[in-house]
Structure 1
Amino acid sequence: MSTLREVIEKHVHDGSIPGAVALVARDGRVEAVAVGSTGTDDGTPMARDSVFRIASLTKPVVAAAAMLLIEDGRIALDDPVARRLPELAAPVVVRTPDGPVDDVVPASRPITLLDLMTSRAGYGFPSDFSLPAARLLFSDLKQGSPLPRDVAAPDAWMDTLSRIPLLAQPGSEWLYNTCSDILGVLIARVAGQPLPEFLAERIFAPLGMSDTGFTVPAEKRGRFTTLYRPGADGGLVLVDTPAGQWSGMPDFPSGAGGLVSTVDDLYVFARMLLGEGTVDGRRLLTAASVRQMTTDHLTPAQREASGLFTEGQGWGFGGAVDVDTTAPYNVPGRYGWVGGTGTTAHIVPATGTAAIMLSQVEMTGPTPPALMRDFWQYAADA
């Protein structure tokens, strides 16, 4: 069997990534490697504390923040979100998914917190991104690859969202991404403070996640990786530099994909979900809350219709849940997700396994790249 270093080195040597940091922990053993460099030009060696844009790995963190508010008694899963998000008080739904955006019907019921937590509010990416209502998510809301400086502030963003119809009735279909951004706005309004402040106060500081946030201060940019996307010629195309989009606090802190972090900060978060370690003698989230997060909430029909899950996965709160072993690296009950910037983090509650891999090359679609598949296979066999 290959070592973890060999698994990652193969993809650095073939030029598909400049570098990566990976960690697999199980049975008290932690194996971590840093391979390659933080960019193609500067030659700075990748290190265990290198900072990455984690993109959609933000989603489980924001779901955990919502669970904290539920445990505080400040909001409940069956609460209509319009109490805090009046922009969504009277949502409308396109009559047919491929129809014009002005051919709409009223929503059959209010959108609830549970709808947001499970990405079933009716907003989000379908399997066909060309649908008229879906295109508005990209053009008007700037959904898609995270570009923090290009998105409007939360109140203006919600005002724009209020004029975009739902693609499906609340609760009926799983649609990707947008619900987590709405959830981030909801958390801020319920908490009465900006999302970055709430996450820092209630999650990052208590857990010691000192390198996680929505911006990278100047003193840490020497550890910040450069972001690329695959080029048409097989090379890499520059997307963002350490002094770029994350060099200042964004107007819209994206609950769907705005965070940066390190492998060890995400390992601390994974250990929290696994029930390892306490904050002032108690768990940050109760075991019951973690079970809700890491349980599949989709129906078989919703999993089948999602268009993005082709390898035996459902959806919990903020992340996917493996429900069968269609793919050889799937483990029943495995919870976690991937980030479009080339990141992945999962836990397996039954075995106490945590597996995290951070790279800096964007994914080109929902199909996981070979690097991720090889890493998952290694973690499943470890």
Structure 2
Amino acid sequence: MSTGNFIPDRLERMRKVMAGHVERGALPGLVWAVSRVGETHVEAIGALALNGSMPMRRDSIFRIASLTKPVTAVAAMILVEESRLRLDDPVDKWLPELANRKVLKSVDAQLTDTAPASRAITLRDLLTLRFGLGAIMVYPFAYPVQHAMAEAGIVPSADLFRGSADAFMKAVGSLPLAHQPGEGWLYHTGLDVSGVLVARAAGQPLSVFMQERIFGPLGMKDTGFHVPADKVGRLATAYSRDFQTGKLGVYDEAKGGLFASSPSFEAGGGGLVSTADDYLAFQRMLLGKGRLGSERILSRASVELMTTDQLTEEQKASAPMFFNGNSGWGFGMSVALKRDNLWQVPGRFGWDGGYGTSGYADPENDLAGILLSQRLMDSPQAPAHYTDFWTSAYQAIV
């Protein structure tokens, strides 16, 4: 029953719209949740797998992909608040692989056509994705550095790095940077590197640090870098869509799949699994300026810094498919700057995940929303069920 934060008949409209995507066969199932001023609505629709007998449930587990990024940023800021890391200190102490970098003279240069880095890489560079490596959005690959990243296995993609953290850093450190530290913006890789930094600075695996400092205190009991055997029955099968036929094919099974055992590399940029209620708890903590109930994870100052745009106009203009002229980037997440859609409220923060997830929080409306599906994104453009979810959420607000 509504307590006045959502309009009941418009919530029903939202249920029908989201159910329609499953009924039309666009995806096997989904779970969505919206929470506002203490009122939460969660819906589970469809099945865990195509032609499967197991229905989606409120506690179904999904690979949340890049919704991992804000969590890693929070982990890093915990260490900053304890003065174990500093935003603008060189990371060389913990990440010697990134010391004494060489930088390509231009993004399309040969790998040997370099100049010395103008300064050391910092944690701020990593969290804002300005350290010098990441997704270069030119397809098919045209630049030597793109091919080199592919050969090293570190091109940002749905296929997570499967070696160790040390092997990942060795691969990153073997390549020249595509731009000087702090100057450009390249998606993804900085948060994977941030996860390694957190683990090394904390002196424990990233999964253990996150469990002790974030997941445990917030009651996120189903969030981690893999799904234990006793929970794998709740993990949704992941699918990708064939571009020619439009049909869905299995990308990753639940039982025996990539997330059914502990990974060698705990990817801070995209390696977590979670549930709707778990991620809502994380979002409510951020909306609470670092606090949820009696648990304080971060200070108000840290959350405000993380959710403030950190990019220059030139950096945002260089990545139009990510920022669309209406948003920027804070620490590990997007920040809305201009209202040009129902949901694009200035100050709203969060991100989307390439395995089929979308999670944002809106301080102005005290709204948190999470959409969990199991169909991989086809392009950087949001699929219809993403836009319909957010349109429906905002049309239902009182």
| 2:192 is aligned with 1:181 | yes
The one-letter code sitting in structure 1 at the alignment partner of 2:85 is I
User: CA–CA distance in 1 between the matches of 2:289 and 2:124?
Assistant: 27
Other structure's SS at 1:346 match: strand
Contact between 1:209 and 1:268, CA under 8 Å: does it hold in 2? yes
1:128-147 Cα deviation digits (max 9, x unpaired):
25232133333313433344
Contact between 2:34 and 2:368, CA under 8 Å: does it hold in 1? yes
Match of 1:272 in 2: 285
User: CA–CA distance in 2 between the matches of 1:68 and 1:277?
Assistant: 10
The one-letter code sitting in structure 2 at the alignment partner of 1:191 is A
Contact between 1:312 and 1:327, CA under 8 Å: does it hold in 2? no
Match of 1:123 among 107, 130, 133: 133
Match of 2:23 in 1: 13
Contact between 1:227 and 1:241, CA under 8 Å: does it hold in 2? yes
User: CA–CA distance in 2 between the matches of 1:32 and 1:191?
Assistant: 35
Cα 1:280/1:22, change in 2 over 3 Å:
closer
Cα 1:98/1:328, change in 2 over 3 Å:
farther
Match of 1:212 in 2: 223
Hey, which bits of structure 1, 4+ residues long, moved more than 6 A?
Answer: none
Match of 1:58 in 2: 68
Match of 1:225 among 236, 241, 247: 236
Match of 1:25 among 26, 29, 35: 35
Match of 1:132 in 2: 144
Match of 2:47 in 1: 37
Deviation of 1:301 (Å): 1.4
1:24-49 Cα deviation digits (max 9, x unpaired):
11122211111111110323111110
Cα 1:211/1:82, change in 2 over 3 Å:
same
1:160-217 Cα deviation digits (max 9, x unpaired):
1111111111111111000000000000110001111111111111111010001111
The one-letter code sitting in structure 2 at the alignment partner of 1:11 is H
Other structure's SS at 1:83 match: coil
Contact between 2:218 and 2:295, CA under 8 Å: does it hold in 1? no
Deviation of 1:3 (Å): 2.5
| 2:251 is aligned with 1:239 | yes
Contact between 1:173 and 1:306, CA under 8 Å: does it hold in 2? no
Match of 1:319 in 2: 333
Deviation of 1:331 (Å): 1.2
Other structure's SS at 2:83 match: coil
Other structure's SS at 2:92 match: helix
Deviation of 1:327 (Å): 3.6
Contact between 1:15 and 1:235, CA under 8 Å: does it hold in 2? no
The one-letter code sitting in structure 2 at the alignment partner of 1:355 is G
Deviation of 1:280 (Å): 8.3
Other structure's SS at 1:218 match: coil
User: CA–CA distance in 2 between the matches of 1:17 and 1:135?
Assistant: 33
User: CA–CA distance in 1 between the matches of 2:179 and 2:94?
Assistant: 22
The one-letter code sitting in structure 2 at the alignment partner of 1:37 is A
Q: Number of residues paired by the alignment?
A: 381
Deviation of 1:329 (Å): 2.8
The one-letter code sitting in structure 1 at the alignment partner of 2:304 is R
Match of 2:82 in 1: 72
Contact between 1:55 and 1:256, CA under 8 Å: does it hold in 2? yes
The 5-angstrom pairing of residues 294-373 of structure 1 reads: 294-308=307-321, 309-310=323-324, 312-373=326-387
Deviation of 1:350 (Å): 2.2
Other structure's SS at 1:3 match: helix
Deviation of 1:282 (Å): 4.5
The one-letter code sitting in structure 2 at the alignment partner of 1:358 is L
Cα 1:169/1:221, change in 2 over 3 Å:
same
Contact between 1:4 and 1:33, CA under 8 Å: does it hold in 2? no
User: CA–CA distance in 2 between the matches of 1:138 and 1:205?
Assistant: 36
Match of 1:253 in 2: 266
**Structure 1: 5+ residue runs without aligned partners?**
none
The one-letter code sitting in structure 1 at the alignment partner of 2:270 is G
Cα 1:225/1:298, change in 2 over 3 Å:
same
Other structure's SS at 1:82 match: coil
Using the size of structure 2 for normalisation, the TM-score is 0.92
Contact between 1:136 and 1:164, CA under 8 Å: does it hold in 2? yes
**Structure 2: 5+ residue runs without aligned partners?**
1-9
User: CA–CA distance in 2 between the matches of 1:183 and 1:267?
Assistant: 23
User: CA–CA distance in 1 between the matches of 2:260 and 2:179?
Assistant: 37
The one-letter code sitting in structure 1 at the alignment partner of 2:73 is A
Deviation of 1:57 (Å): 0.4
Deviation of 1:278 (Å): 4.7
Match of 2:178 among 145, 167, 175: 167
